Every structure is written in structure tokens, then in C-alpha cells.
């Protein structure tokens, strides 16, 4: 498994200041080795969204002699030294960030201040606009060094203002800002980059090329869903997004085209003009606009297409240089829109929607979406989670067990939670996420020690279906990313039913083990769920799988007819032809659950453990052989500032075997062999003590 570090390195007590991370020192590599890191995410070479020459200076310097004395190195030097120590750095490409920073220059064009101004020299700005017009610092190589023929818009016009050209725009043509990274007190301006714009895609490709030339063998594309995320501000109406909508409508079969467009020439259709004619104004709730569902659907379709273009270019450029380049994407909350993007990455990196004290179901979901690929998660300071309190407690020498649990939870569920190293706390907390080095190092050492017991492959007998088509509208239209009424008033919506998240949470809290199986939206990704792929499961749970294609329905029925069991909660197959859903719903192997809590009583009990709902359990096929039972406790006692220990914990496992040996592995404790006894259909062991995390290795 990956042992990842969220390697921003932002300074303590200061703002986490995008897009360029603090300069790197060789001493950092000593820390990373102590943490047993193998992978660094959000880790460097991020300045391309300021300009290519800024990125070049990140990569190659110069580094003053005074800084060399303290071990400062260029990013290219750091990457090379990290690789010598077996650590791979993912260079970061900020796909939705186009920057202009306040600056002060002297008469010769040398930078005296950047972002943190101090009242010296000539006040100006430095960023993409100055890069494209050759008005930036004197050290910057000219624009045509990278683009000898310049850049041309999709309308065939030469680009004169790169900064505003590449931005997502409202109905009045005004660009949106990426509000979550701008630091108000520093007079920054970051526009929301639009990957539908071919100019931006060409620029991002050049960023990737500079990163690979600087030694990066892994590239991480951030803000994977751009520009779909611009819906949070009102949605993008730029020329290129309007072309995407037009192409989507023109490609629809005649009987699926909106009735209100009858007789309209779709070859010249302009969605922006259309909504204006219906009274729309800039930055109103996009869900109130006519044809909104087609507009948002067109953006969903564009996400994997434009992402793949950048990812494929990174691999092809690396190959042209004789090197293999891995690609990662930021999958944020592992929402349904990201499912077709999984095919185009080697590693999924995700921020999750919020960092909570307990969310094993979220990690089981992410592992399912990853479809066998590594999943690396990092904390998210937004969303009302625990981060601000946890950071404050750690600074006072408290909450060590709570921190450990946030890391071990992911490993127990088949994923990786990156250890923090000055990692991001957003633009509302003036600090970075640091933990005491001895705590981080001890945690990393334990993860290295148990690596032979960690995998994303399970022997679980229950599958929960995550239906992308059934969940898509809830995510895109449910105002989940729109911060209430911050940008526009909400509108009443008739959203389809969803019980997936309640179901997986209930199963986790009931100590049930399960896999998540992703049922794709066949318009975005071909179906790969068949009766054969489901045959290994005793039970398949369908929580509000109302959007299922006829072919997918047929595979589920075939699974039933081969002896499988299905548990249905809520709606199923409401879009199927009349009566078709009854083949599944009325089948003798199907059970209808009245509530999400009832689902747990209908599924297999792979592990029996008396821990209540403040714990989680999962099984993994151990690379070292046998089966690893992963137990996590969340029973933190704030008064004692420690997890409450559970002693002599009985565990019964009803999967696998025969087992003759069992070893219990725990942090801060020696491995201990314990007896394993077959009792009926269960293999029984007793764990001497569980505090935060224990693994029982059965073999």
C-alpha cells in the first residue's frame, strides 16, 4: 500500500498560500524518511498557474548561497534526492486556478516583494496576464519561448489576455474566482480555470511538460471536475462551454430532444442567448434556468473527456522522454461524476467532503470507486468536521489517539490516509496542519510494519451497489457544494430518492463488512458489473437503485437466478419498461428492507465483535497470506485524552479458513500469537487489548 504524506509544507502560524509551496530543504527528506513515506501528494511544482517562467524558477532556481547553507534546494533537485530515497513526488497541476499576485518590482524588473508586499519599488501584479504580455519580472523568459506561434482561441483569435481568457464566466462575461484559495488580506486574485477552453488545456499541457522535464515522474491533476464546479457560482457561459452544450443537444436522438427546441437550428444554438431571452440574469441559481438538466449533463460528459486529454498528454510526453509517468487526480468526495475519470488515473487522491472523527463507510465507498487502484485521502478543513479543533489540540500535546484514528481508519478500510506535513487548512485558518514529528514518525513506522497485512482486496460476502446514475442528480443538483445561499438563493427541487449513504453508514455502525460495487452510468462509462462479477457475494444490496439500465437489470436478475440474494431498499428500476422491475422485485431471492437499519439484518455477518457503534471492522486479503481482520475503535475519552481500552475482546470470523495460527498486531505493542479455535462456522480469537487499532492476522 502507499504510505503517503500530504506534503505542502506550509508554515506554522501563517496562511496556506496557493499555488506555490514553500521552498524545499534537504532536512525535509530526513523527516519524510522518518515517516516512512513512499508518496508525496500536493507536493511541489505548483507555480504553473502563476506562469510558466515562475514554474521554471521553482524547478531550477537560482537558490542563493545563503539558502544553500541551510540545505535549500530547487524542486528538481529535491525530486531527484527524494527518488534516491524511494520517495515519489507528485507534481501538482492546479486545473481551476489562474493567478494574479500583488508584487513590487525595482526599476530593473527584479522582484522585491510578491504577495506579501512591503511598500517598496513599483507596485504591480504578477501572473498569467503579465506572462502572456511579456510585462512580468525581468528574469522571466518571454511567452513565445513556450508558445512560438502564440495561443489561439477556439474562434481563431489570438490570445491577448491569457488570464481572463481561460476563466469560467458568468452570463455577463465576468470571470468567477476560486474563492477557497484566495487570501483576502493579501489582495490576491485567482480566477476559476475552465478546462473546456482549449487554450487552458494547451497551457496545462505545457505545465505538465515543464514538470516532467524537471524530473517529475508522477503528476497530480487537481480540481478534476472543472468546470462543472462553477455551478456553485452560477455556472459557466463561456464560448467553449456553450459549444459543449450545443454539441450535447445536437447529439441527442430526435425523440430525446427538448420539445421547446423544436425547429431550432442546433448547429448555431447559443444557450447563453437562450436563457437571456427567458429572463435569466448573471449569477442566479443555475438550477432555475431552462434546459438546466441538459446544460449540467453536457458538463458532466465533458469532465472525463477533457481530463483524459491532459492525462494522456502527460503519459505521451513522458514516453517521448523515455520515462513512465503516473497520473493522479483529485477526486474530492468521490462523487458520481468522478466515476468515468477513474479509468484515466493510476492513483486516486481525494480530499473527502469533510474530515470527521468517524467515517469508515466513506473509505469503503472510495475503495469501491477506485476499482482496485490505490486510494490516497487527505484531510479537508471545510465542511464542519474536526480539523480546527484537532489542530489546536495537537498543538497543546493532546488528541494523539484521535489523530492516530484518522490515519488507521483508512488503512483498516483498504485505503491510505496521508500523514500531514504542513498540509492545507484552507484560507480561513491562519495555520497549517502539523503534528509532532515523533507522533508522525511512530505512525508511519507502524504503517510500514503492517504493510504485509494491508490491501484493497477483501473476502467480504456482501456488496452494496453504488448506482452512479441514481446518485448523480442528488450530487449535482442538491446544493451540496454551494454553501447554502452564499452565492444565490436556493430553489425548491424535486430530487429523486437516495438512501445509499445512510445504508453504508448503518452497515458500518452495525459492524457489517461489505464492498462497494459501482454501477456505472452507461452514457459515461461502459457497464462492467455482471452476474459473474457479483457471483462471489452472498448478498447484493440495492439502496434506491432507481436508475438501472435494461442490461444492468438483466445482470442482476442473472445473479439472482444463479442462487444469489438481493436486498432492496427504496426504489428500484423506475425507468425500466412497465413490469420489467418485477423480475427482480418479485424473485424469491429478493428481500425488501423497510428501513436502512433493517438492511443490516439481511446481510452476512462476516465478523462478530461486541464493540457497539463506536468501532469499525473490515477484512482484507493479506499480501503476506491469509486474512487480516482490521478493528478500529473511535471511543475517545476527552477527559482522559485517550481512547478507552477494550480488553479481552472476542472476535469471530466466518470467512475463509482453515486457520491454524493467529497473530494480533497493534501500535505501541509487540505482536502476540493467540489461539484460534473453530466453533461451528466461526473462527474465534481473543484480542488482548484494543485501544485505537488492532489487526488479527489469520493464516
The model's pLDDT over 48-104, given as tens digits with 9 standing for 90+, comes to 999 999 999 999 999 999 999 999 999 999 999 999 999 999 999 999 999 999 999
The Cα–Cα gap between 124 and 106 comes to 11
Among 203, 235, 365, CA closest to 300: 235
Hunting for cell 443538483 — which residue is that? Answer: 477
Q: How confident is the model at residue 569 (pLDDT cuts 50, 70, 90)?
A: very high
Q: Are 189 and 202 in contact (CB under 8 A)?
A: no
The model's pLDDT over 182-207, given as tens digits with 9 standing for 90+, comes to 998 888 999 999 999 999 999 999 99
CATH 3.40.50 domain extents, the chain:
462-602
Q: Which residues contact 391 (CB under 8 A, 6 or more apart)?
A: 425, 429, 431, 433
Q: Give, in order, the Cα–Cα distances in Å from 76 to each of 72, 368, 447.
A: 12, 35, 28
The model's pLDDT over 524-563, given as tens digits with 9 standing for 90+, comes to 999 999 999 999 999 999 999 999 999 999 999 999 999 9
Beta strands 590-593 and 565-572, pairing class: parallel
pLDDT of residue 584: 98
**353 in helix, strand or coil?**
coil
pLDDT of residue 482: 67
Q: Which CATH number fits domain 462-602: 1.10.287, 3.40.50, 1.25.40, 2.30.30?
A: 3.40.50
**139 in helix, strand or coil?**
coil
The Cα–Cα gap between 629 and 37 comes to 24
Share of the chain above pLDDT 90, in %: 95
Copy the grid coordinates of residue 51. Answer: 506562469
Q: Are 525 and 550 in contact (CB under 8 A)?
A: no
Q: Which residues contact 215 (CB under 8 A, 6 or more apart)?
A: 76, 79, 80, 83
Q: How confident is the model at residue 486 (pLDDT cuts 50, 70, 90)?
A: confident
Over range 342-346, report the average pLDDT. 98
CATH 2.60.40.1180 domain extents, the chain:
609-698
The Cα–Cα gap between 498 and 470 comes to 7
CATH 3.20.20 domain extents, the chain:
94-229+303-449
Predicted confidence (pLDDT) at residue 144 exceeds the cutoff of 80: yes
CB count within 10 Å of CB 312 equals: 13
Q: Which residues contact 588 (CB under 8 A, 6 or more apart)?
A: none
Predicted confidence (pLDDT) at residue 479 exceeds the cutoff of 70: no
Q: Are 51 and 128 in contact (CB under 8 A)?
A: yes
Architecture of domain 94-229+303-449: Alpha-Beta Barrel (3.20)
The Cα–Cα gap between 407 and 693 comes to 10
Q: Are 522 and 515 in contact (CB under 8 A)?
A: no
Q: Does domain 609-698 have CATH number 2.60.40.1180?
A: yes
The Cα–Cα gap between 293 and 280 comes to 16
Copy the grid coordinates of residue 381. Answer: 478543513
Q: Are 192 and 176 in contact (CB under 8 A)?
A: yes
Q: Are 330 and 222 in contact (CB under 8 A)?
A: yes
CA angle 298-300-306, nearest 5°?
95
**Where does residue 592 fall: left (phi above 0), alpha (psi -120 to 50 degrees), or beta otherwise?**
beta
Query: Which H/E stretch holds residue 534?
Result: helix 531-534
**Where does residue 459 fall: left (phi above 0), alpha (psi -120 to 50 degrees), or beta otherwise?**
alpha
Q: Specify the pTM.
A: 0.97
The Cα–Cα gap between 392 and 390 comes to 5
The model's pLDDT over 362-416, given as tens digits with 9 standing for 90+, comes to 999 999 999 999 999 999 988 778 999 999 999 999 999 999 999 999 999 999 9
Beta strands 88-89 and 98-105, pairing class: unpaired
Q: Are 126 and 133 in contact (CB under 8 A)?
A: no
Q: Show the 3-state SS of 228-283.
A: HHHHHCCCCCCHHHHHHHHHHHHHCCHHHCCHHHCCCCHHHCCHHHHHHHCCCCCC
Strand arrangement, sheet containing 615-621: 615-621, 627-633, 693-698, 662-665, 672-674
Over range 426-450, report the average pLDDT. 96
pLDDT of residue 620: 98
Q: What residues does 464 pair with on adjacent strands?
A: 516, 541
The Cα–Cα gap between 531 and 200 comes to 43
The Cα–Cα gap between 345 and 374 comes to 10
The Cα–Cα gap between 2 and 14 comes to 29
Copy the grid coordinates of residue 635. Answer: 471511543
Amino acid at each position: 500500500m502507499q504510505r503517503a504524506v500530504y506534503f505542502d509544507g506550509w508554515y506554522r502560524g501563517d496562511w496556506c498560500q496557493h499555488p506555490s509551496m514553500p521552498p524545499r530543504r534537504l532536512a525535509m527528506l530526513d523527516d519524510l524518511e522518518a515517516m516512512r513515506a513512499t508518496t508525496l501528494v500536493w507536493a511541489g511544482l505548483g507555480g504553473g498557474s502563476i506562469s510558466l517562467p515562475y514554474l521554471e524558477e521553482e524547478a531550477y532556481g537560482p537558490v542563493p548561497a545563503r539558502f544553500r547553507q541551510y540545505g535549500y534546494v530547487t524542486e528538481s533537485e529535491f525530486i531527484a534526492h527524494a527518488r534516491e530515497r524511494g520517495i515519489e513526488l507528485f507534481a501538482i497541476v492546479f486545473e481551476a486556478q489562474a493567478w494574479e499576485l500583488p508584487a513590487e518590482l525595482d526599476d530593473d524588473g527584479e522582484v522585491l516583494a510578491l504577495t506579501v508586499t512591503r511598500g517598496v519599488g513599483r507596485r504591480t501584479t504578477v501572473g498569467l496576464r503579465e506572462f502572456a504580455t511579456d510585462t512580468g519580472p525581468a528574469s522571466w523568459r518571454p511567452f513565445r519561448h513556450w508558445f512560438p506561434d502564440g495561443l489561439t482561441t477556439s474562434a481563431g483569435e489570438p490570445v491577448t489576455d491569457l488570464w481572463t481568457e481561460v476563466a469560467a464566466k458568468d452570463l455577463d462575461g465576468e470571470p468567477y474566482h476560486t474563492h477557497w484559495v484566495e487570501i483576502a488580506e493579501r489582495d490576491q486574485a485567482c480566477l476559476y480555470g475552465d478546462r473546456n477552453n482549449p487554450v487552458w488545456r494547451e497551457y496545462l499541457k505545457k505545465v505538465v511538460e515543464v514538470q516532467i522535464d524537471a524530473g517529475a515522474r508522477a503528476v497530480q491533476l487537481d480540481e478534476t471536475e472543472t468546470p462543472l464546479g462553477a455551478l456553485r457560482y452560477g455556472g459557466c457561459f463561456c464560448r467553449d462551454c456553450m459549444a459543449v452544450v450545443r454539441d450535447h443537444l445536437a447529439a441527442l436522438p430526435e425523440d430525446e430532444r427538448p420539445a421547446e427546441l423544436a425547429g431550432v437550428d442546433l448547429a448555431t444554438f447559443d444557450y447563453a442567448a437562450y436563457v437571456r431571452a427567458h429572463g435569466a440574469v448573471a449569477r442566479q441559481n443555475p438550477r432555475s434556468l431552462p434546459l438546466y438538466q441538459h446544460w449540467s449533463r453536457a458538463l458532466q460528459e465533458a469532465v472525463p473527456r477533457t481530463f483524459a486529454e491532459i492525462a494522456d498528454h502527460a503519459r505521451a510526453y513522458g514516453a517521448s522522454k523515455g520515462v513512465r509517468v503516473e497520473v493522479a487526480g483529485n477526486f474530492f468526495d468521490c462523487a458520481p461524476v468522478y466515476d468515468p475519470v477513474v479509468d484515466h488515473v493510476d492513483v486516486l487522491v481525494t480530499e473527502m467532503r469533510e474530515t470527521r472523527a468517524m467515517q469508515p463507510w466513506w473509505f469503503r465507498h472510495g475503495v469501491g470507486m477506485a476499482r482496485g487502484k490505490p486510494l490516497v485521502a487527505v484531510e479537508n478543513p471545510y465542511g464542519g468536521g474536526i480539523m480546527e479543533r484537532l489542530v489546536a489540540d495537537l498543538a497543546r500535546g493532546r488528541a494523539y489517539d484521535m489523530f492516530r484514528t484518522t490515519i488507521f481508519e483508512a488503512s483498516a478500510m483498504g485505503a491510505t490516509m496521508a500523514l500531514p506535513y504542513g498540509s492545507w487548512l484552507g484560507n480561513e485558518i491562519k495555520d497549517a496542519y502539523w503534528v509532532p514529528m515523533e507522533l508522525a514518525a511512530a505512525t508511519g513506522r507502524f504503517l510500514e510494519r503492517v504493510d504485509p497485512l494491508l490491501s484493497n482486496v477483501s473476502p467480504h460476502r456482501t456488496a452494496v451497489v453504488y448506482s452512479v446514475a441514481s446518485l448523480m442528480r442528488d450530487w449535482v443538483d442538491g446544493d451540496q457544494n454551494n454553501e447554502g445561499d452564499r452565492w444565490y438563493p436556493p430553489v425548491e427541487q424535486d430530487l429523486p430518492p437516495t438512501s445509499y449513504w445512510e445504508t453504508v453508514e448503518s452497515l458500518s455502525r452495525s459492524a457489517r463488512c461489505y464492498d462497494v460495487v459501482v454501477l456505472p452510468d452507461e452514457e459515461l462509462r461502459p457497464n462492467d458489473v455482471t452476474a459473474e462479477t457479483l457471483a462471489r457475494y452472498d448478498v447484493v444490496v440495492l439502496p434506491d437503485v432507481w436508475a438501472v439500465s435494461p442490461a444492468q437489470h438483466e445482470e442482476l436478475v442473472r445473479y439472482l437466478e444463479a442462487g444469489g440474494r438481493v436486498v432492496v431498499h427504496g426504489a428500484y428500476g423506475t425507468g425500466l419498461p412497465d413490469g420489467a422491475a418485477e423480475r427482480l422485485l418479485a424473485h424469491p431471492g429478493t428481500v425488501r428492507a423497510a428501513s436502512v437499519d433493517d438492511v443490516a439484518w439481511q446481510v452476512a455477518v462476516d465478523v462478530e465483535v461486541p464493540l457497539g457503534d463506536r468501532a469499525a471492522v473490515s477484512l482484507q486479503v493479506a499480501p503476506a497470506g491469509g486474512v487480516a481482520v482490521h478493528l478500529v475503535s473511535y471511543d475517545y475519552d476527552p477527559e482522559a485524552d485517550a481512547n478507552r481500552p477494550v480488553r479481552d475482546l472476542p472476535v469471530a470470523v466466518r470467512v475463509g479458513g482453515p486457520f491454524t495460527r493467529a497473530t494480533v498486531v497493534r501500535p505501541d505493542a509487540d505482536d502476540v500469537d493467540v489461539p484460534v479455535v473453530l466453533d461451528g462456522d466461526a473462527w474465534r480469537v481473543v484480542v488482548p487489548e484494543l485501544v485505537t487499532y488492532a489487526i488479527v492476522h489469520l493464516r
